[in-house]
Structures are given as C-alpha cells and as structure tokens.
Amino acid sequence: MTVEPLRLTVNGRPALVPDVPGNERLLDTLRWRLGMKGTKEGCRTGDCGACTVLVDGESTLSCLTLAREVEGSSVTTVEVGDEDEVVARVRAAFSAAGALQCGYCTPGFVMAVAGLLRERGTSARREEILEALGGNLCRCTGYVAIVRAVDALRAEPK
Amino acid sequence: MALLRTAGPSEAAVIAGGTDLLLDVADGRLAPSRVISLRRLPWRTLDWNGTQLTVGSTLPLRALEQDPELPRRLPGLYQAVRAVGGVALRHRATLGGNLVRSAPASDLVPVLLSLDAEVDLIGPGGVRRLPVDRFVRASRKVDLAPGELVRSVRFPEARPSAYLWQRVRPANDISQVAVALAFSPAEHAWRVAVGGVSPRPALLPEAAHALGSGSPSAESVARAARRAGEQAGFVTDRRASVEYRRHLVGTLLTRAVAGILSQGELPP
C-alpha cells in the first residue's frame, strides 16, 4: 500500500516527508527523517518533557504523539530561527541565566516555556509557570537557574 | 467503520490523544497494524446547558480546564483534570481516552464517579447512555461493544466538590491514593469516590452516608474518614502499602470536606 507523504510545516518551512508509517512518533520523524536532533528523547513515556515541541503553538510531547496525527500542522522545535520571537527570547533568557548544566533537558524546557508565553503572555504568574514546568525534569537538578530565566521573561515585578 | 467493527486490538487501535496508548505501542505490548484516528470527528466540544455540562470525548483536557465556568461549577473536576500529567500532555490527552483506557490509577475516574457522570456511546447498534460506574468494569476494562465509541461525557449538575491526592512527587506523577468528594444539591447527599484501590476507582457509599445530608459535624467527618479506611479496597503494590493508604484516605477525605465547606454554604 502506498501512503501519501506527510505534510507538515516545520519551523516555518513546508515539509513533505515520504514513507511515514501510521505508527511513527513525531519525535522519530523530526530526529531521524528530518535530521533535527535538537528535540531529545528522554524517558519516552511522557514523564520527563525532554521531547517537548510546539504543535500549532501548543506545547506537545513528541514521544507520545503520532506524526500522522499532526498532519497539516505547524511544528516548532528548539532549532527555529530568531524570526520566532518568543522562542528566541526564551533561548536568550536561558543563556543569560546560565540555565543549563548538561543541557539534555534544555530544549524541552525552552519549548515548554515558549508554549506558556504564547498562551498566557508575559503576565503569567510565577506559580502558573512553575506548574506548567511540572512536566519537565532536569536530572542535573539545575532548577534554580531555570526559574531565574523564567522570572526574567515575566513582565510583572519579580 | 467496518474496520472498527471487525478488527481486534492487535489489528486496529483507536487513538484519541494517544498519550496512554503510545506507551503500550512503545513497549511493544501493542503492535496494531492500523491506527484509527478520531481527530477529525467533531467531538472537541464543551456545552453548558444551565449547570449541566457535556464534554465531547476528544476535547483535549487542557481546553476543559480552561473553561471559565468549570472551577466554580465543578471544582472537583477542575482539580482532577489539572492533576493529570503536565501541561504538554494535557494539550493532547482527552477525557474520552482516559475513560476508555481506564487505567487503575486514573485521576479522572474517581471524580467522574463522585459527580454521577454518564457516558454517551455511539456504535453500529445505535446510541446508549451509561453511568460511569457501570461503564468502567475493571482495570483496563470498559463496557464498549466492537465498533462502539465514547462520544461525550455528561455531568448532570453543578456540585460543590474536591479532588485530593497523595503522590511521591507532586507534579506529573501517579497518585497513590486519591479522594473525590462531591455534594449533590438535588439529592442532598454526598458522594465519596477513591482512587488507588483495586481493581478500579470506586464509590464508597457508607462513607458518603456517614457525612449526612448537608454540612457535616466534626464527628460525622471523623466517622466518614474511618469508614473510608475500612471500606476502600486498598492493596499493597509498588506505589504504596495498604496500611499507608488506609491511613491516608481518611486524612484526604477530611481535607476534602474542609475544601468543599470553604466553597460556600451547604444546607445544615
């Protein structure tokens, strides 16, 4: 049986991906078919958040999402250029705060924060942000600097 | 639809959000040759009819928790939805998927029981409506005929309610014990449901009865807490011991009553 190529927009560019079977995870399509290794595989069970990307602007676990389920959607990964102003700001804030240790969880954190900023804007309360990051684990336990980076992105008094 | 009706689980898997199904696929417990997606069905809906709520089965949980009326009208449901995974997971996970997959530690089944929720099913044999208490049979077992799908979940009335849980980690973890408590203004009666029990979340009618028909006394709360510890079908598993669970359920129930009383006046 021949299958239609998978049609996506990835980081603002249209992509037609051939031969994507129905049971392939979005994470594998990104990493192995499109060669975009910025998105990480951690637990592969939805516990760690390392694979978080944005699908039509919403944070999404790419390890628990079938690629075919997001056919026609716009997928944003940590590799997106600075024309994505929200992601660019989050990356800059993480960089300025030194919010990484080994760096493996960082793409997931960056995309989770970017998703929340898109959804709630810079007026999001600190508790909301901490709650929204509850799905992301840093096994180096470098959370203090991550929270500092997030605080720097908020419009309210810190 | 023909495939849905005739295919076994190894041939075709129905996927809503997929956040639980894909765990089985990733581990090789399930290797369906076909995946049937529900994403194009027009079931991502949320409708209030007065204080009665109908939630389409494929509405992402994140959209449900963001409904502006939910925290006030069904606070227990609001709290339980927010107890599921993290935000990114809830962008895809659905109420229908959680029910059909019926994980023994589901955070949603207890609260659906406490709110007397009903499921609307549609299939080759037509439509039918079942209380959640009859739909969920056991761990991972529901009353769904071949080719049948959950179309929506219906909540009959707004209820003062609460959902409290205990976990090793507060965020993105599985509850060891959970208590869903609700007061029905129509029936002047309490509902107590618990999670972390075997073989599936369950109502505890004796504990609910002990709370009386309105605002309970401290003695009634203590009696209900004791009953819940005695009555609930707790077991020891890798998440917690039966003794710990029996102790904890009373504590959570007592806190849940206090939470509900802080939401507003109940009849005496």
pLDDT tens by residue, B172-181:
889 999 999 9
Given a contact cutoff of 8 angstroms between Cβ atoms, the answer to whether A61 and B19 are in contact is yes
Query: What mean pLDDT comes out for the span B257-261?
Result: 96
CA angle A28, A34, A38 (to 5 degrees): 70
User: Residues A32, A54: one domain?
Assistant: yes
Structural domains of chain B, with CATH: 41-155 (3.30.465.10), 161-261 (3.30.390.50)
Q: Taking CA atoms, what residue in B is nearest to A52?
A: B88
**Boundary-marking domain end, from A23, A46, A76:** A76
pLDDT the model gives residue B28: 82
B107 Cβ contact partners less than 8 Å away, ≥ 6 residues apart:
B80, B83, B84, B163, B165, B175, B178, B195
Q: Chain A closest CA to B134's CA: distance in Å?
A: 29
Task: Report how far residue B199's alpha carbon sits from residue B227's, in angstroms, rounded to the nearest whole number.
Answer: 19
Query: Cβ of A23 under 8 Å from any chain B Cβ?
Result: yes
Q: Which residue of A has its CA nearest to B25?
A: A23
Residue B169 — very low, low, confident or very high, per pLDDT cuts 50/70/90?
confident
Cα(B107)–Cα(B179) distance, rounded to whole angstroms? 9
Does A46 reach chain B within 8 Å, measured CB to CB? yes
| A53, A91: one domain | no
Q: Write out chain B residues lying below 8 Å of A65, CB-based.
A: 18, 22, 92
Distance, first Cα to last Cα, chain B: 52
* Residue A94 sits in the same domain as residue A72: no
Closest residue of chain A to B34, computed from CA coordinates: A22
- For A121, the domain range is 85-153
What's the confidence (pLDDT) of residue A156? Answer: 60
Amino acid type, A74:
S
Q: Which candidate, B69, B70, B65, B79, places its Cα nearest to that of B256?
A: B79
Q: Is B62 close to A58, i.e. CB distance below 8 A?
A: yes
Note the pLDDT tens digit of each residue in B128-164.
Answer: 999 999 999 998 999 999 999 999 999 999 999 999 9
Among A44, A131, A135, select the one facing B26 at the smallest CB separation: A44
Question: pLDDT tens digits, residue range B33-79?
Answer: 788 999 999 999 999 999 999 999 999 999 999 999 999 999 999 99
pLDDT the model gives residue B190: 98
- Distance, in Å, from the CA atom of A7 to the CA atom of A141, rounded to the nearest integer, reads 38
User: Is the four-CA dihedral B73, B79, B82, B85 of positive or negative sign?
Assistant: negative
* Segment-wise mean pLDDT, segments of 10 residues, chain A, 158 residues: 88 96 94 98 94 98 96 97 96 96 97 93 84 92 93 76
Nearest residue in chain A measured CA to CA from B32: A23
Quick one: which of B226, B229, B218, B200 has its CA closest to B257?
B218
- The amino acid that residue A7 corresponds to is R
- The 10s digit of each residue's pLDDT in A45-67 is 999 999 999 999 999 999 999 99
Quick one: pLDDT at residue A59? 97
pLDDT, residue A157, reads: 55
In a domain, A18, yes or no: yes
- CA-based nearest residue to B32, from B16, B8, B5: B8
Cβ under 8 Å to A: B residues 40-79: 62
Q: Count up the domains in chain A and report the number.
A: 2
- Do the Cβ atoms of A150 and A93 come closer than 8 Å? yes
Q: Are residues A72 and A89 in the same domain?
A: no
**Do A66 and A91 share a structural domain?**
no
Q: What is the CA radius of gyration of chain B?
A: 18
Q: How many angstroms away from the CA of A60 is the closest CA of chain B? A: 5
